[in-house]
Chain A
Amino acid sequence: MSGKFTVDEEVRRSSKIRSSLLVPLLILALAICFIADIAFGTISIPFREVVRILFSEKSQDEAWLFIVQEIRLPKAITAVLVGCGLSVSGLQMQTLFRNPLAGPSILGITAGASLGVALIMLSAGTITSIYTIKEMGLSGSWLLITASTVGAAVIMLVILAISASLRDNVVMLIVGVMIGNITLAIISIWQYFSSPEQIKEYLLWTFGSLGGVTKQHLIVLAVAVAIGLIVSFASSKLLDALLLGENYARSMGLTVNRARLLIICSTSLLAGSITAFCGPIGFIGIAVPHLARALFNTSNHRILIPACCLIGVGLMLICDIASQIAGSQTALPINVITSLIGSPVVIWVIVRNKNLRGF
């Protein structure tokens, strides 16, 4: 009996030491990134003043106070929500499809969400431009979230139905990309017949922006993302079982269809709500789960989901900072930066695995 638990304990110890060092380091890095994100911007505000506004809510300059409290703080919080939500939805999709390149932007899920948004923004006349939706306040933003989430869920169900008969990952990926293309084509046709003002609104939205979320909408987005994250975390045991594929999951007592529905719902809610407010933001969803697996060396979703949140938030904040410094006076669209940072990660994944199978 004496040596019986040594191996087990050793395994647990090594991973414990790793995460016990990693987590505080990551959180510290996040705090620094968060404050840096607020400190940098198109209008330069002294760093000390930024810290003072954040902690005492007072400033010598009313404009600075307004900029930090009403623009930069909501934007940084949006970056946090986007980082968590997209990473976790990507992680869930990679496990569900058993595909290392699954992610909201790749498999056309964000395209589906875009379709939902286009439906609201480009339909019926002038009443429904995104500006007027925002003027409608809370009910309008929920409408946008619902349309976007339903759009994402529909595309995800279609892809899942096709994946049931296609076992090949590469073929699956191509099908996902094609469905994304079809969705975008439908949107293009729609744009063609819409008025220039509406198209401009929509195009600006597709660039992706963290800045478009006002304090009021932030609450709506935060609630949607929080629900999505809680449901995801609660399904971590289901996700673990699905790692071996559906047959094994079923043999371990999982009601696969119910689990799949739950995962699709939370994934669509996360990707859909974020896409509704911030536009289609690429590559965070696919890249972060790989970084989390490599950094925490585990496939346990109980650890991976919080890990994805930490890394996703960090990456999103860094992307946001980069988008402002690079353009100095005018900020670059966030989508450009996430692609620049995310694409190399995807290439690294493919090169490391030598093929598309390993995840």
Chain B
Amino acid sequence: MGTLLNIDGLTIGYRNGSKKVKVAGPLNIAMKAGELVCLLGPNGAGKSTLIRTIAGLQDPFEGTVKIDGKLLSDLKPMEIATKLSVVLTDSVRSSNLDVYSLISLGRNPYSGWLGRLGRKDREVIQNAISATHLENFLDRKMGQLSDGESQKVMLARALAQDTPLIILDEPTAHLDLPSRIEMMRLLHRLAKETNKAILVSTHELDLALQVADKIWLLKKDGNVDAGLPEDLVLNEVFEKAFEKNGILFDRESGTFSIHEEGQRSINLKGSGAAAFWTKRALIRNGFVVAENPQLPLIEVAAHGNSWLIRTNTSSSECSSIEQLIGELRKLAL
């Protein structure tokens, strides 16, 4: 399977008046058909600029973007429109369009000169609608949809454009957690089922780690690290990229810990959900959980509704985490 998207020596940036401001590059990355790639990076690293450059909405300073072996700069706008489709952060909520009309706009590159839709066009639109489960929304106006629904409609429009590459710029911004998960899961499924290459820029690190086939991590210094999510985690790439005071990337769980390192150490024994959530509560209250027999010990009962605190001098039993934390405070550990 050959690569669908090739980025060679690409330097990107924006123009401020006549001045060119370089944001990132030179970048050398590639993408295959059927792959879901998540583009991650801190704010200001140039995610949107890269997305816009690949989509042909903005010219690169140097280097080339190739789709299907053809240079993007050699293709006519109409040809680009049949190679890649986009979901942007531009607001479309204000429009009076109903959902069906908006999705059918995706057929614009294929329809007749007045925009008349043929049989094939309608079939593709139907497939896009069923892939995104929007059957019950078709008559609604865009202004009446929730953020999550409206993003799904924009994705359906991109699907209707029927391109081998779909590019989404922060499709999960402004969405609530269930919608974010639904969107990422939908993208993952689409990449597998339709063999399309899907490139998503996002801030959802934990979701990206779960669904992405590959991650492009755009760093503050303008370089990109590309690879399997698991490899990037183990190579400490994430820790370095997001390094900031008080924020730590926990390699064990693949998440960021938002609490500062605790001052007091404690030993925790137990397993399952109860032990996991006990640990979370302890960390939030400034404890470091360590395996050291010298330390005071908390034993979590297997059924998860009793906690035993043992110190050298005393032992007490608690029936909730709230009680446990209160007890620890009393002991001034």
Residues 54-75 of A at the B interface (beta carbon under 8 Å):
none
CB distance from B121 to the nearest CB of A (A): 11
A259-B121 Cα distance, complex, nearest whole Å: 23
Contacts of A251 in B (CB 8 A): 55-57, 80-81, 84-86, 88
Cβ–Cβ < 8 Å partners of A240 in chain B: 105, 108, 115
Q: Which of A246-260 contact B (CB under 8 A)?
A: 247-248, 250-255
Q: How many residues of A contact B (CB 8 A)?
A: 32
**Residues in A neighbouring B56, C-beta threshold 8 A:** 250-251
Residue in A11, A233, A243 whose beta carbon sits within 8 Å of that of B97 in the complex: A243
Name the distance in Å between B67's Cβ and chain A's nearest Cβ.
Answer: 13
- Asked whether, in the complex, the Cβ of A248 is within 8 Å of the Cβ of B90, the reply is yes
Contact stretch, chosen from B5-13, B38-46, B135-143, B176-184: B135-143
Contacts of B55 in A (CB 8 A): 251
User: Which of B79, B84, B94 touches A357 (beta carbons < 8 Å)?
Assistant: B94
Residues of A near B96 (CB, < 8 A) are 293, 299, 358-359
Candidate in A7, A240, A244, A358 with the most chain B CB atoms within 10 angstroms? A244
Asked whether, in the complex, the Cβ of B92 is within 8 Å of the Cβ of A244, the reply is: yes
Which of B57, B82, B115, B138 has a CB less than 8 Å from the CB of A250?
B57
Q: A240-B115, A243-B105 are in contact. Are A299 and B135 (CB under 8 A)?
A: no
Contact of B92 (CB < 8 Å), options: A8, A248, A298, A302: A248
Give the residue of A5, A293, A358 whose beta carbon is less than 8 angstroms from that of B122. A5
Alpha-carbon distance between A358 and B144 when the two chains are bound, in angstroms: 11
Contact of A48 with B by CB under 8 A: no
Report if B111 contacts A (CB, 8 A): yes
Cα of A98 to Cα of B95 in the assembled complex, Å: 8
Question: Does A163 touch B at the CB level, under 8 Å?
Answer: no
Name the B residues within 8 Å of A8 (CB-CB): 100, 122, 125-126
CB interface residues, B 49-95, toward A, < 8 Å: 55-57, 76-82, 84-86, 88, 90-95
| 0/1 string, A4-35, CB within 8 A of B gives 1 | 11011001000000000000000000000000
Q: In chain A, residues 223-248, which have Cβ atoms closer than 8 Å to a Cβ of chain B?
A: 233-234, 236-237, 240-241, 243-245, 247-248
A243 CA / B106 CA spacing, docked (Å)? 12
- From residue 38 to 97 of chain A, which have CB atoms closer than 8 A to chain B? none
Query: Given A252-B161, A302-B115, are A245 and B81 also a contact pair (CB < 8 Å)?
Result: no
Report B310 CB to chain A, min CB distance, Å.
63
Which residue of chain A is the closest to B97 with respect to CB atoms? A299
A237 touches B81 (CB 8 A): no
- Interface residue from B57, B109, B114 paired with A302 (Cβ < 8 Å): B114
How would residues 249 to 287 of chain A score, 1 for a CB under 8 Å from any chain B CB and 0 otherwise? 011111100000000000000000000000000000000
A243: which B residues are within 8 A, CB to CB? 95, 97, 105
Residues in B neighbouring A241, C-beta threshold 8 A? 105, 108
Quick check: B77 and A254 within 8 Å, CB to CB? yes
B101 at the interface (CB under 8 A from A): yes
Give the docked Cα–Cα distance between A103 and B109 (Å): 29
> Bound state CA distance, A358 and B57, in angstroms?
26
Q: Is B113 located at the chain interface by the 8 A CB criterion?
A: yes
Q: Cα distance A250–B101 when bound, in Å?
A: 18
- Docked Cα-Cα span, A358 to B111, in Å, equals 27
How far, in whole Å, are A234 and B113 apart by their CA atoms in the complex?
8
Contacting residue for A253 out of B80, B93, B100, CB 8 A: B80
Say yes or no for A194: interface residue by CB 8 A criterion.
no
Residue A214 at the B interface, CB < 8 A?
A: no
Answer whether residue A339 sits at the interface, using C-beta atoms and an 8 A cutoff. Answer: no
CB distance from A350 to the nearest CB of B (A): 14
Q: A236-B115, A243-B95 are in contact. List 15 more A-B contacts (CB 8 A).
A: A7-B126, A7-B129, A7-B135, A237-B115, A244-B102, A247-B90, A248-B90, A251-B80, A252-B85, A252-B106, A252-B109, A253-B78, A298-B101, A300-B115, A359-B94
- A to B CB contacts below 8 Å, 11 in the list: A7-B126, A237-B111, A237-B114, A240-B115, A241-B105, A243-B105, A244-B90, A251-B88, A253-B76, A299-B95, A357-B93
Seen from chain A, the residues whose Cβ lies within 8 Å of a Cβ on chain B are 4-5, 7-8, 11, 98, 233-234, 236-237, 240-241, 243-245, 247-248, 250-255, 293, 298-302, 357-359
Name B's A-contacting residues (CB within 8 A): 55-57, 76-82, 84-86, 88, 90-98, 100-102, 105-106, 108-109, 111, 113-116, 122, 125-126, 129, 135, 138-139, 143, 161
